[in-house]
Structure 1
Amino acid sequence: MTLTKADLIQQVYQEHDLTKAQATKVVEAFLEIAKDSLRRGDDLLLSGFGKFNVKQKKARRGRNPQTGAELILGPRKVITFKPSGILRKRINGG
């Protein structure tokens, strides 16, 4: 099962003394702050959860899987995630 943004809003709404509109604003505000931070190239560290890093990838040669034609993939930024030790333990039943 996938946890969607709507599911997250529903959980915030149910577990805290907020209206559904307030819960939506809280979740949306957090996501905007996180996206803005990553867009600027800053890392996002959530203690007990993990760290999102923005990394720069260099241009490289690639291949079109449908045609087999070679092409150059331009430089780009990617986001990586490293879970915290606490999260790893909880996922592994610890």
Structure 2
Amino acid sequence: MNISSITDSLGSIAKNNVNPVNKADDKTFDNMLKDAISEVNDSQVQGYKAMEGIATGNVKNLQEAVQKIEEAELSLKLALEVKNKALNAYKEVMRMQA
């Protein structure tokens, strides 16, 4: 029995089944975090514009403006909760190492 031929066969199978990673779809944690912060910022800007429109009377659809304000508030609350959870997890890890 030739063992080297079996390992050679397995090596060629592994090489053929490797899927190339598309770098355009590969997102790092840093990029995802920046995107999430950017989305929260955009919703805040839209909320402030909606509040300004209500205050100046330039709003055509009041319900839509109020919805944008609520979305901005909820996205900010969610971002703050995620931040708090991440900080608590970091503190817990730091306590475990000591």
Same-fold call, TM cutoff 0.5: no
Higher helix share: 2
Higher strand share: 1
In the superposition, the TM-score normalised over structure 2's length comes to 0.29
In the superposition, the TM-score normalised over structure 1's length comes to 0.30
Higher-Rg member (1/2) = 2
